[in-house]
Every structure is written in C-alpha cells, then in structure tokens.
Structure 1
C-alpha cells in the first residue's frame, strides 16, 4: 500500500485518510472475521471521506461495524440511522423546519434495507 499510496501512512491526509491504518488492522487483527464484516458493512452502508467531514465520523462508523456487524441487522440499521456520518451522507444535516428534507427516510429504506419500490411514500 505504501509503495502505491505514499500519502496513506499519515492519518488526516487526503485522499487516503486512514486507509493504511485500516489495512494494518485488517492484516494484524486477532479477530479477522469481525474485521472482514466491518469491511463488508462499510461497502453496504456506503459513506466516505469524499463527502463526510470530519474523517473521525467515518472511523467511528467502522468501529460500530466491528462491534455490531455480526449481530442483529435491525439493530445495526437503527444504529446507522443515528450515525453522524450516515446523517451527513444522506443530507439529513440540512433538515430543519424551514426546509424539510424528506429524502432521508426513503433513501435509508431504499439503499440499505427494503430496496427500491418495496414501500409506499405517503
């Protein structure tokens, strides 16, 4: 990784913030299944440092995947619905009384749980 992405060794640098840190964890963990499940859920609940700032919110989400990733999906989905990185990723941070963002709930359902066309908007 360092050969092809020399910037990755320094946490907090763009565009690969934390990439080397997570690669190190993936290779050196004593709990490889937990780490692989965190990687899996990170691919499903797609957020990233390209939109989510600060980078710590994405890393906190990965920690949640480690702790809850092999448990009940409903519990994980509810946790992700409250996660700051996911809230920012789905633009719910712009939601306020004068400009209601009605996309957050449907996007959460379509993208991460039920799928497109599986529920009806009121």
Structure 2
C-alpha cells in the first residue's frame, strides 16, 4: 500500500450570513462558484445551526426560533499562493466580514490499491 504524500497548504474560512447577498445571489454561493472558476482545489459552504456576528444577535435553527439568517462558513483549501491570490475576491464580496487563514497539510492519495506506481514495474 502506498503512503499518501502531503504538501503544505492554506485553509481560508469565510464567515457570512445565510441571507447575505451579492447582486441578488447568496454570498456563500458566489464565493464557491468564483473559487471554482479560479481553479482552486476545493471550496465548501457549511450552514451553522447557531451563531452570532457583528450585530451580536444570536441566530438559531431551533424550532421555537424563526431566524432564517443562519451563519454559513465557506472553507477553501489550496496552496498558499493560490489562496492568497484569491483574497481580493473575498474582500470584494464580504467587505469587513470575518476571514481566517490557517496553515494545513494537503493529503494527496497515492495510486489506488492494486495499482503499481512506476517504481514497482518488473
């Protein structure tokens, strides 16, 4: 079995509200689609069940609450250079919204089980 290789990467997390929009489109969707067009390795949007932001108002998914503006975290992972090059897009879409960058390792799987890599040929 081949051990997966790793390389240094950068994880970008953008926190937005579910109701935040950019030209009548949800900001979280705009970020994911722009990341895709930019050729980034991956982007996902995760809907929170409870949270608060700059307004200090708590938004929750609990049955007794009618809040629909739940928090959404958009997470993008790629090489540091590619993620940093994408930061101006995030600034355009979110203004002063919270954005974090975290160093990470990107795991690249080896050949599928049963396959040989070029070094194993007889």
After TM superposition, is the score higher than 0.5?
no
Structure showing greater Rg: 2
Higher helix share: 1
Higher strand share: 2
TM-score for the superposition, normalised by structure 1: 0.29
TM-score for the superposition, normalised by structure 2: 0.29
- Name the structure, 1 or 2, with higher relative contact order (CA <8 Å, separation 6+): 2
